[in-house]
Copies of this chain bind each other. A is one copy, B any other.
Amino acid sequence: MSKENHQTPSMETLVSLCKRRGFIFQSSDIYGGYQGFFDYGPLGVELRNNIKQAWWQDFVHRRDDIVGLDSTIIMHPRTWEASGHIGGFSDPMVDCKESKLRYRADQLFIAPVKLNGELAGYVAFMEDTDAGEILKRAKKVRDAKGDKQAEIDVDALAERTEFTEVTEEQRLATLGPDASAAGTLTEPRDFNLMFETKVGPLSDSSAVSYLRPETAQGIFNNFNNIVDTARVKVPFGIAQIGKAFRNEITPRNFIFRSREFEQMEIEYFIAPDADWQQLHRDWIDACTDWLVSIGIPRDQIGEDVHPQEKLSHYSKGTTDLSFEFPHGEQELWGIACRGCFDLTQHQEFSKKSMEYFDEGRKQAGQEPFKYIPHVIEPSLGVDRTLLAVLTAAYTEDEVPNDKGKPEKRVVMKFHPRVAPYKAAVFPLLKNKPELVEAARKLYKKLQRRWPVFWDESGAIGKRYRRQDEIGTPFGITVDFDTIEKDGTVTLRDRDTTEQVRVSEADLFDYLEAKIDGE
């Protein structure tokens, strides 16, 4: 994937900017934080809402074949029996009997510790542990053997085995990541990722319910309701945006994998004999185009085709759109062809027919005209999209300061469609009432239409810079020419820093075209 001039920022850089400027805070900060949960501050919530609204506008409002839905987070628990989540939505976990800590077995690895060429045991470590730390642990194994002079085979330490594949003998000879002696790690066992709760006044097993781990099942649940009430004909889609919850054992990489997150999902229903490969391709293209429309450069979007042998038995094919996140190239948007698995399962568990009666096919004499539709599922996380938008927008460059001297600048190059504030209005000087009054009037007028920012304090260059860092695409300065001459204002472009003078009418037209599109 070529990236041209773009330099992916480090996660640390992004986390720090997000906290400093009020995009994202860790949840329950004052209580020491809460692992895997994040709050969106004043700028973050705007960015988030803009991403969600742009998605809804393009995939629901501007299409004729997709309708929306908002189903509950807590659903009838039979839903999760039908979907397979109660039986199978789990990660393999390993406990440390000594430290009482727990690890995901597929993220835990062991390496052999060889002393003077002889195997002396194993060390366990998480996949992102660095070589220095692994060596330190290996020295612990050596010291426990009583020979502090023995030579450790450093090459052998690079021979990793995933913990899901270790033998019992190896496991018992392994020093856990947080243990002081070998043999404290248990065999991996399954841990369901759904959050459990109890609904209703009773506290027995009949009350057990779950927070949804995905929004998709609320769509399948409502398939009949929507066919019966909305004017939809296969092929058609149902779109939903909403929170989902997964009790991740090791939430990490900032908002990339958190325990509470939000999804934007579509279930697109097609006939069983439709050309699903072509429709799948169309969806991959539509999703890519949408990412580009909110400012993700096309050359930073990759396609990752899941190999046939890794697909679920019911799946015909899945392609992920990937993105170069600060922690590496990772899945952003999964576009799966799920066959008719989900509707069939719900039909079986609910005893309600999920068959669709295809009037058009019947009239055309085409068989079958009663069928359970197949489905293409483009599934995207709001939080991951937001992280991609932040990553793509982050830019460091040099621009001249008020004195014409080049100065380092941090600028978030958000697409105007998703930028938290669309413009900032500045009176050139704070202590000239007539300037302030004219600027204020324009500000209030703009504010009827878009979120805009008011700033009257400090040198104008400094005010520009503040807006650059929060990604406001346009700076509008009201100066003496505005009030004494022709009413024009200075319009400054965030990315190029170029300035032009425009009339008020032109200003509104220009902003409208840039923000809302042609």
Inter-subunit contact A69/B39 (CB<8 Å) = yes
Q: Which residues of the other chain, B, contact A260 by a CB distance below 8 angstroms? A: 72-74
Asked whether A230 is an interface residue with its Cβ less than 8 Å from the other chain, the reply is yes
A221 touches B30 (CB 8 A): yes
CB–CB B199/A447 < 8 A: no
Taking a contact as CB atoms under 8 Å apart, the answer to whether A201 and B68 are in contact is no
Task: Give the distance in Å from the alpha carbon of A60 to the alpha carbon of B102 in the complex.
Answer: 43
Query: Chain B residues near A79 (CB, 8 Å)?
Result: 28, 31
Determine if A230 and B69 form an interchain contact, defined as CB atoms under 8 angstroms apart. no
Separation of A352 and B31 alpha carbons in the complex (Å) = 9
Question: What are the 10 tightest A-B residue pairs by CB atom distance, in nearest-first order?
Answer: A28-B76, A22-B229, A42-B67, A30-B350, A102-B201, A31-B76, A40-B70, A39-B71, A45-B70, A45-B68
Q: Verify if A325 is at the interface (C-beta below 8 Å from B).
A: no
Q: Which residues of B contact A64 (CB under 8 A)?
A: 454
List the one stretch of A151-159, A172-180, A242-250, A427-435 in contact with chain B: A242-250
Whether A346 pairs with B30 at a CB distance below 8 angstroms is: yes
Q: Which chain B residue has the least Cβ–Cβ distance from A455?
A: B231
The one of B32, B48, B211, B249 that contacts A76, using a Cβ cutoff of 8 Å: B32
Q: How large is the interface on A (under 10, 10 to 19, 20 to 34, 35 or more residues)?
A: 35 or more
- Among A189-197, A300-308, A396-404, the stretch that binds chain B is A189-197
A474 in the interface (beta carbon within 8 A): no
Q: How far is the CA of A209 from the CA of B34 in the complex (A)?
A: 11
> Which residue of chain B lies nearest to A195 when distances are taken between CB atoms in the complex?
B197
A518 closest partner in B (C-beta)? B448
The CA-CA distance from A35 to B207 in the complex, in Å, is 12
Task: Give min CB distance, A48 to chain B, whole Å.
Answer: 6
- A151 CB to nearest chain B CB (Å): 38
B interface footprint on A424-456 (CB within 8 Å = 1, 0 otherwise): 000000000000000000000001101100100
A7 at the interface (CB under 8 A from B): no
A46 to chain B: closest residue by CB: B68
Chain B residues with CB under 8 Å of A40's CB are 69-71
19 residue pairs A–B, Cβ–Cβ below 8 Å = A27-B71, A27-B72, A27-B75, A28-B75, A29-B222, A31-B76, A31-B79, A31-B221, A31-B349, A34-B75, A37-B72, A40-B71, A41-B225, A41-B230, A42-B229, A60-B451, A61-B451, A73-B243, A195-B198
A222–B26 CA distance with the chains assembled, in angstroms: 10
Oligomer: number of copies: 2
Given contacts A72-B37, A75-B37, contact A42 B226 (CB under 8 A): yes
Q: A349 to B249: give the CA distance in the assembly, Å.
A: 28
- Knowing A41-B225, A199-B195, A226-B22 are in contact, say whether A28-B78 is a contact too (CB < 8 A): yes
**Whose C-beta in chain B lies nearest to the C-beta of A231?**
B455
Q: Is the CB of A61 within 8 A of B447?
A: yes
B200 touches A74 (CB 8 A): no
Q: Which residue on B lies nearest to A60, using beta carbons?
A: B451
Q: Bound complex: CA of A211 vs CA of B379, how far in Å?
A: 25
With A34-B72, A201-B247 known, 12 other A-B pairs at CB within 8 A are A35-B200, A39-B225, A42-B226, A44-B70, A62-B448, A74-B260, A102-B201, A191-B201, A195-B199, A197-B197, A200-B247, A201-B249
Q: Which residues of B contact A34 (CB under 8 A)?
A: 72, 74-76, 199
Q: Smallest distance from the beta carbon of A427 to chain B beta carbons, Å?
A: 15
B contact residues around A72 at 8 Å (CB): 27, 34, 37-39, 260
- Complex Cα distance, B218 from A41, in Å, reads 11
Name the contact of A22 in the complex, choosing from B48, B76, B230, B243 (C-beta under 8 A). B230
A48 touches B70 (CB 8 A): yes
A259 within 8 A of B: yes
A202 contacts chain B at the CB level, 8 A cutoff:
yes
Partner of A41, one of B56, B100, B222: B222
Contacts A42-B229, A226-B22 given; indicate if A196 touches B199 (C-beta within 8 A).
Answer: no
Complex interface residues of chain A between 337 and 389 (CB less than 8 A to chain B): 346, 349-350, 352
The complex places the Cα of A301 from the Cα of B70 at a distance, in Å, of 28
Interface residues of A in 234-257 (CB under 8 A from B): 243, 245, 247, 249
* B42 touching A230, Cβ below 8 Å: yes
Q: Is A93 an interface residue (CB 8 A)?
A: yes
B74 touches A222 (CB 8 A): no
Find out whether the CB atom of A62 lies under 8 angstroms from the CB atom of B195. Answer: no
> A163: CB under 8 A from chain B?
no
Query: Contacts A40-B69, A45-B69; is A222 near B76 (CB within 8 Å)?
Result: no
Shortest Cβ distance from A385 into chain B, in angstroms?
A: 15
Say whether A25 faces chain B, with CB atoms less than 8 Å apart: yes
Q: Look across to chain B and name the residue whose beta carbon is closest to the beta carbon of A39.
A: B71
Q: Are A199 and B229 in contact (CB under 8 A)?
A: no
